[in-house]
Structure 1
Amino acid sequence: MAVHAHPDDESSKGAATMARYVAEGVDVLVATCTGGERGSILNPKMDLPDILENITEVRRQEMEKAREILGVRQQFLGFIDSGLPEDENEALPEGCFALQPLEVAAAPLVAAVREFRPHVILTYDDDGGYPHPDHIMTNRVSVEAFEAAGDPDRYVGLGEPWQPLKLYYHMGFTRERFEALHAAMTERGIGSPYGDWISRWEDRPQKWEITTRVPCGDYFETRDLALMAHATQVDPDGFWFVCPRELQREVWPTEDYHLARSLVDTELPEDDLFTGIHAGEVCEPSPVGK
């Protein structure tokens, strides 16, 4: 199960991983916390008044296209997009996802976990990957669901208890990765857009270590097609697609994660999200690495 804040997040974070596991016969569910109702139109080719007026329905249609491309199941959890404040003093809109009490915000996810019964959950780190209020809340509800879904005394009435075995944080946007891609593009005389990104990391040490690198370069095209399905959010001639896929496969053919919780024995580093689960040995919950 991959837990995301908005439609399009599933295609920009861990999409090739999901496509790989789907191809290997794994049942994958994307749980989308909000409908992306307050998202802007980020693709100038789609910046049309009639689309903006119907942005909620348009983004649902885009999500369905991406879901079909990735081969996953998908479920909206029913919360309203909080939007991204222009400054830290701007109040969030009343009733939005990020302002919900934790137990209210986590309840639909707990129910989804108990119904779908995943062994592995993917989500963002405690900074949200970047500090969007919905991404931060997505981390909080994911951790809450991981820890509570197996407890029969919590969230009573939301299905039979089920305990997931591993919880991962996405680690796709790391300085190490972008430095490698930047160097490879520069060496080949391809203009790199990553210089500004790299400079922003100078005073921002990486909080979580990469524990798990999943080889999935064969599915980068599927990832890109799913991302382009979110046409209001992604410019097909924009940043996401500047680095040639062939070069990405050569330089960085994995999607990367931090193992935040594990109830099974595993050895780090890993190259498979299901390492330790195949053996079936369950132990007490514990954080793994930082």
Structure 2
Amino acid sequence: MSGEPLRLMAVHAHPDDESSKGAATTARYAAEGVEVLVVTCTGGERGDVLNPTFAVPEGHEFTTLEAKRAVRRLEMAAAAAALGVQHHWLGFVDSGLPEGDPLPPLPDGCFALLDLEEASAPLVELVRTFRPHVMTTYDPSGGYPHPDHIRCHEVAFEAYHAAGDAQRYVVEGGAEPWEPLKLYYNHGFSIDRLRAAHEAMLGAGLESPFGDWISSRDAREIPEREVTTRIEVADYFAQRDAALVAHASQIDPAGFFFAVPRDIEADVWSTEDFELAESRIDTSTPEDDLFAGVRKES
């Protein structure tokens, strides 16, 4: 591995997830010369418009799955450029988020209904081709119970373990097996982080949008997962924010993601946080680098 550039692969379910979960971290590593590849499992074509000011790009529409997919691809390209990262689509179809009681079935052919090996095969090949030293994805809960987020975890976990096994996912003419060294789970949501921002805003004489939510039963029942690794990223909030805004159909620039003034955010929570799920090399926690233990190997 001597002389090789470090490589990081971040695996996400939909376009925009990469901008709301670990985005400043990928921007930082890319700026520092790490090869960073963001992988998006689905086209996000079942996502609703969540930005009340969204205007469909000229020459496009937002009515069919194909049309929505095309718009989400434009947004994703702009977000990747803002972060300075490479990007790859796995090409699966968004499962949507059915709601109701009884819960309606997922749509035929969607990502979450595919056989695990079918869904994992293209990511296994991509791991063998890109050869990441570190992978990031969601914890087994998906971060929240969206079927695509849960399947994204399963697929990334499978690829982490299978890509180095020459007897599995055999493809004629495919890349040589490759074992990533570390697997991390994103901590995209943290009630402790929201509480810290809430208290800091009140302390600064500002109105906080988080009070009712923090005190709600739903918030109290969300478990905090272990944080093993904190990456200092305050210098990359601007790149993260530009990537968020690039997803114009999904992200309201006056909404939740921008509720905390950036100087307050930098003061009370300047890191993005991760959980070291597995490691094939020696490392000790807590860490301040996803490549802790990897750098001395390279």
Q: Kindly state the Cα deviation for residue 181 of structure 1 after the two structures are TM-superposed.
A: 0.6
Partners of 1:96 and 1:169 in 2: CA distance:
24
In the TM superposition, what are the counterparts of 1:19-34 in structure 2 within 5 Å?
19-34=27-42
SS at match of 1:103: helix
Deviation string for 1:204-245 (max 9, x for gaps)?
322x20000000110001100100000000111111101011
- State how many pairs are aligned: 280
SS at match of 2:62: helix
In the TM superposition, what are the counterparts of 1:27-66 in structure 2 within 5 Å?
27-46=35-54, 50-53=61-64, 54-66=67-79
Partners of 1:204 and 1:225 in 2: CA distance:
29
In the TM superposition, what are the counterparts of 1:165-244 in structure 2 within 5 Å?
165-198=181-214, 199=216, 200-206=218-224, 208-244=225-261
Q: Which moved more, 1:249-258 or 1:185-194?
A: 185-194
Partners of 1:90 and 1:190 in 2: CA distance:
42
* Counterpart among 6, 10, 28 of residue 2 in structure 1: 10
1:41 partner letter: V
In the TM superposition, what are the counterparts of 1:239-254 in structure 2 within 5 Å?
239-254=256-271
Match of 2:93 in 1: 80
SS at match of 2:209: coil
Report the RMSD for the aligned CA atoms in angstroms: 1.4
Deviation string for 1:151-189 (max 9, x for gaps)?
000101142100000000011311111111110011112
Q: Kindly state the Cα deviation for residue 47 of structure 1 after the two structures are TM-superposed.
A: 6.2
Q: Kindly state the Cα deviation for residue 280 of structure 1 after the two structures are TM-superposed.
A: 2.0
1:176 partner letter: D
Q: Kindly state the Cα deviation for residue 197 of structure 1 after the two structures are TM-superposed.
A: 3.5
Q: Kindly state the Cα deviation for residue 111 of structure 1 after the two structures are TM-superposed.
A: 0.8
Match of 1:258 in 2: 275
Partners of 2:127 and 2:211 in 1: CA distance:
40
In the TM superposition, what are the counterparts of 1:31-180 in structure 2 within 5 Å?
31-46=39-54, 50-53=61-64, 54-87=67-100, 89-157=103-171, 158-180=174-196
Partners of 1:111 and 1:16 in 2: CA distance:
27
Are 2:134 and 2:180, in contact at CA under 8 Å, matched by a contact in 1? yes
Q: Kindly state the Cα deviation for residue 266 of structure 1 after the two structures are TM-superposed.
A: 0.8
Partners of 2:219 and 2:21 in 1: CA distance:
19
Partners of 1:170 and 1:195 in 2: CA distance:
24
Are 1:41 and 1:47, in contact at CA under 8 Å, matched by a contact in 2? no
SS at match of 1:201: helix
Partners of 1:21 and 1:43 in 2: CA distance:
29
Are 1:41 and 1:52, in contact at CA under 8 Å, matched by a contact in 2? no
**Structure 2 unaligned spans of 5+:** 1-8
Partners of 1:136 and 1:195 in 2: CA distance:
29
SS at match of 1:179: helix
Are 1:3 and 1:123, in contact at CA under 8 Å, matched by a contact in 2? yes
Task: Name the TM-score, length of structure 1 as normaliser.
Answer: 0.93
Partners of 1:191 and 1:45 in 2: CA distance:
23
Are 2:12 and 2:149, in contact at CA under 8 Å, matched by a contact in 1? yes
Are 2:138 and 2:149, in contact at CA under 8 Å, matched by a contact in 1? yes
Partners of 2:103 and 2:189 in 1: CA distance:
27
Partners of 2:212 and 2:186 in 1: CA distance:
21
* Percent pairwise identity: 58
2:91 partner letter: G
1:262 partner letter: S
**Structure 1 unaligned spans of 5+:** 282-290
Deviation string for 1:110-141 (max 9, x for gaps)?
01101100000010000000000000000000
Task: Assess, with a 3 A threshold, how the Cα gap between structure 1 residues 234 and 152 changes in structure 2: closer, same or farther.
Answer: same
1:148 partner letter: A
Are 2:143 and 2:188, in contact at CA under 8 Å, matched by a contact in 1? no
